[in-house]
Structure 1
Amino acid sequence: MRHAHTVAQVREAEAALLARLPEGALMQRAAHGLAHAVLELLGTAYGRRVLLLVGPGDNGGDALYAGAVLARRGVAVDAWPLADRVHPEGLAALRRAGGRTVDGVRTRPDVVVDGIVGIGGRPGLRPDAQAALAALAGVPLVAVDVPSGVDVDTGELDGPHVAADLTVTFGTLKVAHLVDPAAHASGTVHLVDLGLDLPEAPVEALQPEDVARLLPRPSQDAQKYVRGVVGVRAGSAQYPGAALLSVAGASTGLCGMVRYVGPAAVADRVRQAHPEVVGAGRVQAWVVGSGGGEDAGAELARALEDGVPTVVDADALAHVAGTLPATTVLTPHAGELAAMLDAERAAVEAAPLAHARRAAAAYGCVVLLKGRHTLVATPAGRVRVTTTGVPWLATAGAGDVLGGLVGALLAAGLDAFDAASVGSWLHGAAATLASAGGPLVAGQVAPAVADAVRGLPDP
């Protein structure tokens, strides 16, 4: 599991560790980790140039001490102070190692290090920092701890900010590293372990070993009913393809049986494409809404009457009202969630974490907010972020497949939070395999789920 902590949690853990370490030891650990990451990016030290953009706090000190390490390795290091006073000991260390201070871009560097503000900074950047970054546009940029100017605890952006190619963070991930739009501004994130003793994280991201541990697997004496039966109420005469894609996601072998309930003409097409799928009967979970059209509200009501875990997607989301059972998973995209919360889509996209949590609390169930980094939120505010997937997955029908996957995992016995987060992870991993670096359509995702599962480590 990758854990993302808040600024307050990090500060408390750092204070506890500092009390046990010699003065300056923690900053030296961070600086050496940062320097090694920059060296790896450079490829070689000699003949390379690095420019440090240095602010007034410890973040700037990390950059200066890292610059000293780089200078001793043979890198030409300049520091551009963007404050009247920068970390004095760090600056002295840089000068002793052969680095120098500058007041602008004298020679275009190979890498820029953003040490302007750290996790204690406010969103946005001062004009002098904006001007410095503009003068260095196009140069690979490494952010120290977080990209300067982002909101660390929410992942939101409010004004100018650094867009990093690489962020080197210390001790733990921060929320801004996982949650968009700030996660997008973080680029690739490299974590330097500082040995912090941290509490439970409010935001986390599953890793392959977590998915392998959570994934329901059949026992030696398993039979189809014990493995779980998922029912799909999706599709219509107008949108028959949605039923096929939703059933495809459900019928990936993650549970024991799939039942389809829908218009007769659509059911015929489903059986032709998926001969293993059967008709109405008892289920352990429902998937409702994809392509349901004007019948989606009635189908949702029928599914909820069964009292089993239910995935509510697409057209059915417009018929959600009031608190739902805690076993329910809502799967909106930003536009659908905006309608459900009477908000603007732009507001949801600017603050997805806040809106996902708000929706989960309002409806009393798990909310899966689809996006580049999909968020899965509980009513209590716990969140998992999906970091698998490729941009090619932004294609029509992909969400229908995802709903089926989540429903199958509910039927197989996972709770709503685990089913939604594991299903989202597998959906992204399968799309990555199916894409193989190129375009894909939604129908290619479900057949790749088996390969995604086979690629997991042993649980």
Structure 2
Amino acid sequence: MERAGKAIASELLKHYNFNQKSVLVFCGPGNNGGDGLVISRILKEKKINTTTVIAGAKKYSEDFLKNLEKLKLVSDKIYLYKPVASLKSVNPITEEELENIIAHSNVELIVDSLLGTGQKSPPKGAIKEIIEIINRSLPNNTQITAVDMPTGFNTDSGEVYTPHLRANLTVCIELIKKGMFQYPARDICGKIVTVSIGINCSKGTSAFILDQKTAPYLPKRAPWAHKGDFGPSLIIAGSRNMPGASALAAKAALKAGCSLVTCAYPEKVPALEQLLIPEVIRAPLPDNNKGYFTEDSLPFLKNKLANFKSVAVGCGIGSEK
């Protein structure tokens, strides 16, 4: 938590000047919120005007409480929205007071440290109310930075919940989370950067960006391998009105590593993939002169499907019967 908070605070100092402006850090009850407390403490130690708002909850993580005590040593601007018995020592703040701080305190940056990984349902309780207050009170020029991920989306599927926060910058710890590659979640993450805190993420990684560092993790191909070892793949695509669909699908298959690609398309459709990608095998299917797949196309498919290791079907086939 200390390393995560320090790494993210360092990233914030790279992106923002904080000249005579303030920072507002919102913390949830878990470890993501604990990261926010560390960020608040470090910014405060840098003489940056920082206010911390904690969401009321039934329970707080042990590390969260430890970092709260550390923050109290350097800051007296710590508030609790929706007071709870477990945090009696933190000054309560009302909805009206919170709206006033957001709208009229010359806030340059809001740090979203409310919820982290494992978001599987819409925000509830105090966190839900805080999001709604931020969204209706936020000045146009105030930026939002999310700690590890914005609050309010499913980190696996990319589903965005109501309510949610839209970040201008998301600082991910070690890895970009899988849901961030998918829309609509990608749209609420803003610019995405990663920071390292020394965690070994070589195992259990299900999504990553392909670059010079990650490319070596892809399976290596033997020098004597041939095109039959990486396929064969069948694409069933295209129609009279969408002849380019098979070409686009074939390009994608080849780019993904399929070396032996066959395109099945209605025979009255121009074979664009043959003109654009000569290495693709053509398989025009009977279509009764209609320009889209019909029952006449089925015999080939039934007889040949067993010859392919993967099949992509549906691109541009239309809805005609």
CA offset at residue 107 of structure 1? 0.8
Residue 77 (structure 2) pairs with residue 100 (structure 1): yes
**In structure 2, what is the equivalent of residue 80 of structure 1?**
53
Secondary structure of the residue aligned to 1:51 is strand
**In structure 1, what is the equivalent of residue 196 of structure 2?**
193
For residues 258-291 of structure 1, give each alpha carbon's deviation from its aligned partner in whole angstroms, at most 9, with x where no partner exists. Answer: 66665555467665556666656xxxxxxxxxx8
Q: 1:118 to 1:140 in 2, by over 3 A?
A: same
Q: 1:68 to 1:163 in 2, by over 3 A?
A: same
TM-score by length of 2: 0.64
Q: 1:276 to 1:156 in 2, by over 3 A?
A: closer
1-structure distance, mates of 2:130, 2:19: 30
User: Which one has the largest radius of gyration?
Assistant: 2
For residues 336-393 of structure 1, give each alpha carbon's deviation from its aligned partner in whole angstroms, at most 9, with x where no partner exists. Answer: 9xxxxxxxxxxxxxxxxxxxxxxxxxxxxxxxxxxxxxxxxxxxxxxxxxxxxxxxxx
**In structure 2, what is the equivalent of residue 64 of structure 1?**
37
**Amino acid aligned to 1:127:** E
CA offset at residue 109 of structure 1? 0.8
**Amino acid aligned to 2:133:** A
For residues 382-441 of structure 1, give each alpha carbon's deviation from its aligned partner in whole angstroms, at most 9, with x where no partner exists. Answer: xxxxxxxxxxxxxxxxxxxxxxxxxxxxxxxxxxxxxxxxxxxxxxxxxxxxxxxxxxxx
Answer yes or no: is the 8 Å Cα contact 2:144–2:169 preserved in 1: yes
CA offset at residue 231 of structure 1? 6.2
Answer yes or no: is the 8 Å Cα contact 2:143–2:168 preserved in 1: yes
**In structure 2, what is the equivalent of residue 314 of structure 1?**
314
Q: Which runs of 5+ in 1 are unaligned?
A: 1-26, 281-290, 319-335, 337-459
Residue 141 (structure 2) pairs with residue 167 (structure 1): no
CA offset at residue 175 of structure 1? 4.6
For residues 308-331 of structure 1, give each alpha carbon's deviation from its aligned partner in whole angstroms, at most 9, with x where no partner exists. Answer: 22322216999xxxxxxxxxxxxx
**In structure 1, what is the equivalent of residue 149 of structure 2?**
146
Selected match of 2:26 from 31, 41, 53: 53
1-structure distance, mates of 2:159, 2:250: 36
Selected match of 1:39 from 8, 13, 17: 13
Residue 280 (structure 2) pairs with residue 303 (structure 1): no
1-structure distance, mates of 2:272, 2:186: 41
**Amino acid aligned to 2:45:** R
Query: Hey, which of these two has a bigger chunk of helix by percent?
Result: 1
CA offset at residue 212 of structure 1? 6.5
2-structure distance, mates of 1:237, 1:50: 58
CA offset at residue 96 of structure 1? 4.2
Secondary structure of the residue aligned to 2:207 is strand
Answer yes or no: is the 8 Å Cα contact 2:237–2:317 preserved in 1: no
For residues 74-95 of structure 1, give each alpha carbon's deviation from its aligned partner in whole angstroms, at most 9, with x where no partner exists. Answer: 3211223433898565455445
Greater relative contact order (Cα 8 A, min sep 6): structure 1 or 2? 1
Q: 1:180 to 1:32 in 2, by over 3 A?
A: same
Secondary structure of the residue aligned to 2:56 is coil
For residues 207-240 of structure 1, give each alpha carbon's deviation from its aligned partner in whole angstroms, at most 9, with x where no partner exists. Answer: 2344566488795x88877887766654445543
